[in-house]
Each structure stands twice: as structure tokens, then as C-alpha cells.
């Protein structure tokens, strides 16, 4: 008898209320957000209680869930007020909190009963005994450490029935999950209390330091400045492994990314899940189009993290980029007049008459056209270039588009082809 496969949820980041709504519209089954306390993204657009309530109402109307990340490591006194805070989240209707610190877990469990607790990846859960430990304490889900291999994930699933959440796309930490203090040393900002300055992504130089002499940079003897940062993760090629091994939630990183990123990545992973559950052959037919779609958004180079091997130096970011997106996000549809065949769009980046653009929307809808009859929406004044973000514009569109559809400009990027062994770089313009 064929094994029945469970449908994993697509869990998308939502740094703002706008991103929350976009993520859900574009296929996310759940989103995770930050509140104004106890989180690890102090620079993200963290939610007030009022915004949380609006987000929860929107999510429920679309049969989705909202989780709140409260995954900081508490120092003495940081936990004060946590009980009331968790109770407020519960009463607002938050589906679960994502926590790593045992003190916050204990406070939430005792003072906000009924609010589900998920173990954060910051707690570094890497084996099934650890998952069993947290399950006995009443947690409903564990977010695996990003260092877990696919073989280990398979073994973990065989020995526990607790829900498993695993990262499938986004930034990787160069340090062990939840154990980095580089930012603390380099910028006096506590990475584990929401202040990470991402020191691993800075550019560093190498110096010769002869005793008693001035230091001398050896920059120039290496092709590019060095960074300790890992390339981003992408598991779009390996969705079958995630589903077959019983992962309950596929997590996308990026609460500080744009609505272009959130909409595209959520839509792609939703499409991948739907395709594989329809049939392995269906998934194989669409897989390359999904990969191509992901490369239309701004991101670093991509790899599979620790799932299939230990990353080597080729999975770190240094030297010239080998590939960059070929599209630029330029706007979103606000309205469409079917009779006049005119779209009202809210501009996000420079757009001009004659640009080749692509509209895309939920359900993996894509249509292309050329910008024609560009004009200001307020007075229909014809213009040849719109440089100011958030301006409302009119353009002629010979097919129906839907409010909320996004617009990209194609052929707007450069592809860098870089050979690290020779240090030779060739730059070519992307084709429109």
C-alpha cells in the first residue's frame, strides 16, 4: 500500500503587516512575526498588539495561522513581564510562540495556558532524544537546528511524532544555531538578544604583521575581500525529501526581506508542494521553472546548507558573485479597469516607457507585456519615466490583472561569471 503523505505547511516570514498579508495571499499557510519584546530581530518591523490583532483576523479569514518569535536568550531581568505578554498573545489569537530560552518556555506554559509553544532553532535541536525531551515538557513542535543532515532528519522522524519544522530557504548562520557571539565582540550588540549586527557578512582584509613593523595589507594578492558568511539555503530541488521524511512545516527565512521576496518564495514553495503531492512526475516537470522563479528575486547565492554534506569554502560568500537576479521589482497592481484595459499600479522602483515587464500573482500566474502609455494616475499626464517610489501610475495592459499582483522589470540585472581558481571575472548583461 502506498504511503500517505502529509501536506507540510508553507511558513513564511512577515516583518510587517503588509508582508503578512502578501505572504498569505501568495500561498503561505502560516507566517511568523516578531513582537516588540523577546525577539531576535530588533531592526525588523516588529508588531504592536493592535497590528497582531489585525494580522490574526486577516490570517483566520484566509485559513492561515500566525506565530510569534520570542526566541531571545534572557539575561537576568529580561524575563520580567513575560507572563502578561504571553497571555496577551494568547488572547489576541496567536496560534503559537517560538521560544528557545527554558525560562520563557516555563513562564509561557504556566502563565499562558492554551498558547502553543514551538522550540526555536536557536535551541539547537539535532537528535530525536532532544525532541522527545521537549515533547514531554508539553511543546507541540520543534524547529530543527539548521545543522541537521537529511539522514539525521529521517532518523529523528522515525523516533518521534512531535511536529517538525525545518528551514528550506533563506539566510544561514555561519556559526552554530543560537551560539554566535561575534556581533557582541565586534559591535557590542548582543546577537542572542535581538541586536545582531551580522558581523559575519562584513568584508575583512588579511594583514602581514612582522614583529616591530607596520602591518601591511595583502589585499590584491587575493581576488576579493573575504567574508565569513554562508551562502543562502534553497531546498526547492529537494522538496520530495522533506515531504517523504515527514516534515510538518517548511520554513522560509527573511523577516527583513521585501514583499517581492516574500510573495515569490511563498508562491514557489506552495507550488512545489502541490506539484509533488499530485505526482513525482508532475513535480519534475515544473521543478526547473520553480528554480528559475526563485532567481528573479534579490538574494545571495544558493545551496542546500548541511542537508547533504558539510559546507566547504565554496559555500561561503567571498569573491565576486557568480549569479545575480535578472529582474527588478517595480510595482504592484492597485486596480484594473477591464473596459479601458488600464491598470493602476503603485510604483516601487524606477519604471519607464518601453520597459519589458512581467505581472505575477497567486497560483503561479505569469503574464508579460511592454509598458505602454505610462502616465500619472492623479491627472493622466503622460510621462516617459517614473522615478519616485509609491507614485500611483496608469499603464495600458491588454489582459486582466488583479489587485495585489506584483510587477517585475526584466533584463535589468547583470550576471557575474567568476572563476575562483583564476580570479577571472566576466560580466554579461542579462537577456530581457
Question: What pLDDT shows up at residue 313?
Answer: 77
pTM over 0.85: yes
Q: Where are the domains of the chain?
A: 9-172+230-314, 327-410
Return the SS3 of 27: coil
133 Cβ neighbours under 8 A, 6+ residues apart: none
CB 85 within 8 A of CB 37: yes
Question: What pLDDT shows up at residue 424?
Answer: 40
What φ, ψ does residue 238 adopt, rounded to 5°?
-130, 30
Plot region of 284 (φ>0 → left; ψ -120 to 50 → alpha; else → beta): alpha
Distance, in Å, from the CA atom of 338 to the CA atom of 281, rounded to the nearest integer, reads 38
Q: 17-40 burial, b if ≥16 CB within 10 A, otherwise e?
A: bebbbbbbbbbbbbbbbbbeebbb
What class, spelled out in words, does domain 327-410 have in CATH?
mainly beta
Alpha carbon distances (Å) from 29 to 115, 209, 249, 347 = 19, 54, 9, 28
Task: Tell me how far apart the 2 most distant CA atoms of the chain are, in Å.
Answer: 80
Sign of the CA dihedral with 85 first, then 91, 97, and 101 last: positive
Superfamily of domain 9-172+230-314: Copper homeostasis (CutC) domain (3.20.20.380)
Alpha carbon distances (Å) from 420 to 14, 158, 289, 309 = 36, 41, 28, 21
Question: What pLDDT shows up at residue 41?
Answer: 57
The cell for 255 is 523577516
Strands (E), 162-301: 163-170, 207-208, 216-217, 232-234, 249-252
Question: What pLDDT shows up at residue 315?
Answer: 79
Distance, in Å, from the CA atom of 271 to the CA atom of 276, rounded to the nearest integer, reads 9
Distance, in Å, from the CA atom of 178 to the CA atom of 191, rounded to the nearest integer, reads 9
Neighbours of 376 (CB within 10 A): 14
181 Cβ neighbours under 8 A, 6+ residues apart: 191, 192
User: From the first residue on, what is the mean pLDDT of each consecutive set of 10 residues in the chain (432 residues)?
Assistant: 82 96 98 85 74 98 97 88 96 97 96 97 95 97 96 97 97 80 84 75 78 72 68 95 98 93 97 97 96 88 91 74 78 97 96 96 95 96 95 97 95 45 42 37
How many degrees, rounded to 5, is the angle at CA 186 between CA 180 and CA 192?
Answer: 35
Return the SS3 of 329: strand
CB 294 within 8 A of CB 327: no
Question: What pLDDT shows up at residue 414?
Answer: 40
Instruction: Determine whether 191 is exposed, middle or buried from the number of CB atoms within 10 Å of its CB (0-12, 13-18, 19+).
Output: buried
DSSP at 2? P
Helix, strand, coil percent values for the chain (each to nearest 5)? 30, 25, 45
Sign of the CA dihedral with 241 first, then 247, 248, and 251 last: negative
SS3 for 402-416 is: CCCCEEEEECCCEEE
What residues does 351 pair with on adjacent strands?
386
Question: What pLDDT shows up at residue 321?
Answer: 61
The cell for 405 is 499582483
Question: What pLDDT shows up at residue 322?
Answer: 60
Amino acid at each position: 500500500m502506498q504511503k500517505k503523505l502529509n501536506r507540510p505547511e508553507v511558513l513564511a516570514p512577515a516583518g510587517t503587516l503588509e508582508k503578512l498579508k502578501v505572504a498569505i495571499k501568495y500561498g503561505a499557510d502560516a507566517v511568523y512575526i516578531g513582537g516588540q519584546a523577546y525577539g531576535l530581530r530588533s531592526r525588523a518591523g516588529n508588531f504592536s498588539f493592535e497590528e497582531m490583532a489585525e494580522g490574526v483576523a486577516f490570517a483566520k479569514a484566509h485559513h492561515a495561522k500566525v506565530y510569534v518569535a520570542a526566541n531571545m536568550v534572557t539575561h537576568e531581568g529580561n524575563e520580567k513581564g513575560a507572563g502578561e505578554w504571553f497571555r496577551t498573545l494568547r488572547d489576541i489569537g496567536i496560534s503559537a510562540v517560538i521560544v528557545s530560552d527554558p525560562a520563557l518556555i516555563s513562564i509561557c506554559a504556566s502563565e499562558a495556558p492554551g498558547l502553543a509553544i514551538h522550540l526555536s532553532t536557536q535551541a539547537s535541536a539535532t537528535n530525536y532524544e532532544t525532541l522527545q525531551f521537549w515533547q514531554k515538557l508539553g511543546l507541540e513542535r520543534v524547529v530543527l537546528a539548521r545543522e541537521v543532515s537529511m539522514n539525521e532528519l529521517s532518523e529523528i522522524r522515525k523516533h518521534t511524532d512531535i511536529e517538525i519544522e525545518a528551514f528550506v530557504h533563506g539566510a544561514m548562520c555561519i556559526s552554530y544555531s543560537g551560539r554566535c557571539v561575534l556581533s557582541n565582540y565586534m559591535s557590542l550588540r548582543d546577537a542572542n538578544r535581538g541586536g545582531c549586527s551580522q558581523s559575519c557578512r562584513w568584508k575583512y582584509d588579511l594583514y602581514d604583521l612582522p614583529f616591530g613593523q607596520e602591518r601591511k595589507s595583502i589585499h590584491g594578492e587575493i581576488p576579493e575581500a573575504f567574508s565569513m558568511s554562508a551562502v543562502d539555503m534553497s531546498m526547492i530541488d529537494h522538496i520530495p525529501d522533506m515531504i517523504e521524511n515527514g516534515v510538518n512545516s517548511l520554513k522560509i527565512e527573511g523577516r527583513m526581506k521585501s514583499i517581492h521576496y516574500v510573495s515569490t518564495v511563498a508562491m514557489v514553495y506552495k507550488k512545489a508542494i502541490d506539484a509533488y503531492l499530485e505526482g513525482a512526475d508532475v513535480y519534475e516537470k515544473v521543478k526547473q521553472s520553480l528554480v528559475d522563479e526563485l532567481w528573479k528575486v534579490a538574494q545571495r547565492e544558493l545551496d542546500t546548507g548541511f542537508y547533504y554534506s558539510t559546507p566547504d569554502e565554496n559555500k561561503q560568500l567571498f569573491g565576486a558573485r557568480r549569479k545575480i537576479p535578472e529582474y527588478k521589482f517595480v510595482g504592484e497592481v492597485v486596480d484594473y479597469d477591464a473596459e479601458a484595459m488600464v491598470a493602476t499600479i503603485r510604483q516601487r522602483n524606477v519604471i519607464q516607457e518601453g520597459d519589458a515587464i512581467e505581472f505575477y500573482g497567486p497560483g503561479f500566474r505569469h503574464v508579460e507585456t511592454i509598458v505602454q502609455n505610462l502616465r500619472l494616475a492623479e491627472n493622466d499626464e503622460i510621462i516617459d519615466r517614473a522615478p519616485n517610489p509609491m507614485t500611483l501610475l496608469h499603464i495600458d495592459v491588454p489582459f486582466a490583472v488583479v489587485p495585489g499582483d506584483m510587477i517585475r522589470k526584466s533584463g535589468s540585472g547583470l550576471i557575474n561569471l567568476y572563476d575562483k581558481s583564476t580570479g577571472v571575472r566576466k560580466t554579461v548583461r542579462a537577456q530581457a
